[in-house]
Structure 1
Amino acid sequence: MLGWAIGFLIIALIAGVFGFGGIASASAGMAQILFFIFVVLFIGSLVMSLIRRAG
C-alpha cells in the first residue's frame, strides 16, 4: 500500500510540474489517503504484536 501512495505522489508531482492541476490534486489526495491507511494499519500491527508478546 505504501508503494501505491508513493506512486500517486510521483504522479501528482509530475502532473504539477506540467500544469495539470486537476490530475495533480486528485493524485495527491489519493496518495494522502493511502498513506494514512498505511499508517493506521502499521500502528494496528504494532499494537497487536505487543499484545501477543505480553501474553
Structure 2
Amino acid sequence: MTLEEIEFELELAGLSREQQVKLLSFVRMNGFDAKMLDRKLQLMGFTPIFSVYDEEEGQNKA
C-alpha cells in the first residue's frame, strides 16, 4: 500500500489529522505492517481496517 492509500483509509476511518500524521510517520519509519497498524488503531479506539489488505497480499502470493 502506498502512503496515499493509507492516508485515505485513515481519513475514511475518522482519524484526526494529528492521528493520521502519527501513523503515517510510523509507516515511513517501519514500512507497512497491517497487523501493527490495526493494533495501533485499536489502542486509539478505532476499528481495525488494514488486516484485510494483509490477507489479500497473502492470497496474491499463493
For Structure 1 versus Structure 2, the TM-score category normalised by the shorter chain is 0.3 to 0.5
TM-score normalized with structure 1 length: 0.43
TM-score normalized with structure 2 length: 0.40
Give the helix-richer structure, 1 or 2.
Answer: 1
Query: Greater CA radius of gyration, 1 or 2?
Result: 1
